[in-house]
Amino acid sequence: TYRRRYFARPQLAPVLDLLLLDDTNTRALAFQLAAVSDHVRSLPRDPQAPTPTREERLIEKASTTLQQLDPDSLHREGVEGARRVMELLGSIGDDLRAISETITYFYFSHAELRVS
The predicted-structure confidence for 68-110, as pLDDT tens digits, reads as follows: 998 888 778 888 888 898 999 999 999 999 999 999 988 887 7
Q: Are 41 and 33 within 8 A, CB to CB?
A: no
Q: Is 58 exposed, middle or buried (0-12, 13-18, 19+ CB in 10 A)?
A: buried
pLDDT interval class at 50 (50, 70, 90): confident
Q: Is 47 exposed, middle or buried (0-12, 13-18, 19+ CB in 10 A)?
A: exposed
pLDDT interval class at 2 (50, 70, 90): confident
Q: pLDDT above 90 covers what percent of the chain? A: 54
User: 88: Cβ–Cβ under 8 A, 6 or more apart, which residues?
Assistant: 65, 66, 68, 69
Rg (CA), the chain: 17
For the CA atoms of 37, 43, 47, 52, what is the dihedral angle to 10 degrees?
-10
The model's pTM is: 0.83
